[in-house]
Structure 1
Amino acid sequence: MTSDETDFRDSGKLREKAEEQLKKNQKTAYALSIEADAGKLLHELQVHQIELEMQNEELQQAYETAEKALRKYTMLFDLSPMGYFSLNPDGVICDLNFTGADMLNERRFSLVNSNFKLFITEDSKTVFTDFFKRVYTSNAKESCQVMLGYDNKSLCRVYMEGVVTEDEQNCLLSVVDISKFSRD
């Protein structure tokens, strides 16, 4: 009998050889299992990567759409021939467009946080104050005509309409210069 042959009559040696064979088989099965798991994991990662690439592409398209809308509405707001203002409940200017700044004869960003009432002539302050109160109490669009000016200097006669936003409770004000149309 060669040394490679097992004596099946010796139960201890037989058991030892069987356990060695089982370990070999388990190692092979384990290696195959790991390989299969790695293949599954690689597949899942590849699918996830493709999903992320698709989401990224969708986000890029949404970003481009948002950028186009921003440019469009910025142009519409900033370059409108009508003055636009957003005033808080105290009459402080929160935002305005370039035309609104031109009507007040000031630079746009220097007007933010200024009180709009400072740019209403003394003769028109009562009209504006009544209009501003109505805007906040009626919850409807209100309008009036006032003279813009400061330091006893009249700038222009304007027609304005205002409405209060529900979310921030700011007054959105549109202002049109009607100096060329009115006789005062």
Structure 2
Amino acid sequence: MLLLILIKIGCSKELVFYPSRKFIMADYAQQIKDRAEKIIDFTPEEISQITPDEIQRIFYDLQIHQIELKMQNQELRNAQEELTRSRNNYHYLFHQLPIGIVIVNSTGFVEQVNDTLLEWLGFDKGQLVKKHLSSVIVEADKVHFNSRFDSFFKIPDGKSMLLSLSGRKNQALKVKMLAKKANDKDAGTNENAANQTLIITITEVNDLIAVTA
């Protein structure tokens, strides 16, 4: 009887499956649970009359169910590992690209910045995050940047900005900025538009001249 109660408890646990198989597996688990409950609801006299074949079938179904759960758990672990690898690859590429990359919100405040740009400017990690991008633009170009930022943010395609950043030892670093919306498909409402971000790529003008020459 204790074993039958354990079967009932084991079959009634809430489990997580992939959406494509969730309802099929849940229905299958419910069938096993119902069969076990029918046995548990019997009196001791009735239980003694259950055939060995019926008990064997319940154990067989339960074992199959446990194997399927292990397979599902392995698939979940594999998916998590793949996601972790993808994130690590993105992190590596983002910081190792030979161009500066900065991600800003709709008001121009920095949300992410790569190591390349930080190295150009002589900043440590975290020094530029949550600061306005204009804080690293030389005074002579701030008015130009601020006056163009709204239109640059709303429709960045085909636009660029040439200006100077304040680099190491206050030396001006002449750069070209290009941009692309990070989540343009989600801009259906004003609320979504406020949550949009802009990915700005920054290239030193001297590098551009060297490539062109």
> Common fold, TM-score beyond 0.5?
yes
The interval holding the TM-score normalised by the smaller chain is 0.7 to 0.9
What is the DSSP-based 3-state SS (H/G/I as helix, E as strand, rest coil) of the residue aligned with 1:140?
A: coil
Larger radius of gyration: 1
User: Comparing both structures, which one devotes a greater share of its residues to strand?
Assistant: 1
- Mapping for residues 63-78 of structure 1, pairs under 5 Å: 63-78=80-95
Letter in 1 for 2:122: N
Change beyond 3 A, Cα 1:71–1:59: same
Tell me, yes or no, if structure 1 residue 39 matches structure 2 residue 56: yes
How many pairs were matched up?
156
What is the DSSP-based 3-state SS (H/G/I as helix, E as strand, rest coil) of the residue aligned with 1:109?
A: coil
Change beyond 3 A, Cα 1:77–1:163: same
Please point out which of 188, 193, 198 is paired with 1:171: 198
Give the equivalent residue in structure 1 for 2:96.
79
Tell me, yes or no, if structure 1 residue 128 matches structure 2 residue 155: no
Letter in 2 for 1:169: Q
Please point out which of 150, 155, 164 is paired with 1:138: 155
Give the equivalent residue in structure 2 for 1:16.
none
Letter in 2 for 1:142: K
Maintained 8 Å contact 2:104/2:199: yes
CA distance in 1, matches of 2:159, 2:151: 7
Tell me, yes or no, if structure 1 residue 157 matches structure 2 residue 184: no
Taking structure 1 as the reference length, what is the TM-score of the superposition? 0.73
The offset of 1:181, in angstroms, is 5.8
Could you give the per-residue CA deviations for residues 46-77 of structure 1, whole angstroms, max 9, x where no partner exists?
Answer: 11111011112212222232222222211111
CA distance in 2, matches of 1:181, 1:61: 43
Please report the RMSD computed on the Cα atoms of aligned residues, expressed in angstroms: 2.6
CA distance in 2, matches of 1:172, 1:181: 20
Letter in 1 for 2:151: R
Stretches of structure 1 that go unaligned for 5 or more consecutive residues are 1-25
What is the DSSP-based 3-state SS (H/G/I as helix, E as strand, rest coil) of the residue aligned with 1:32?
A: coil
The offset of 1:155, in angstroms, is 3.4
Tell me, yes or no, if structure 1 residue 101 matches structure 2 residue 128: no
Letter in 2 for 1:172: I
Taking structure 2 as the reference length, what is the TM-score of the superposition? 0.64
Change beyond 3 A, Cα 1:34–1:127: farther
Maintained 8 Å contact 2:156/2:179: no
Give the equivalent residue in structure 2 for 1:18.
none
Change beyond 3 A, Cα 1:45–1:149: same
Maintained 8 Å contact 2:121/2:166: yes
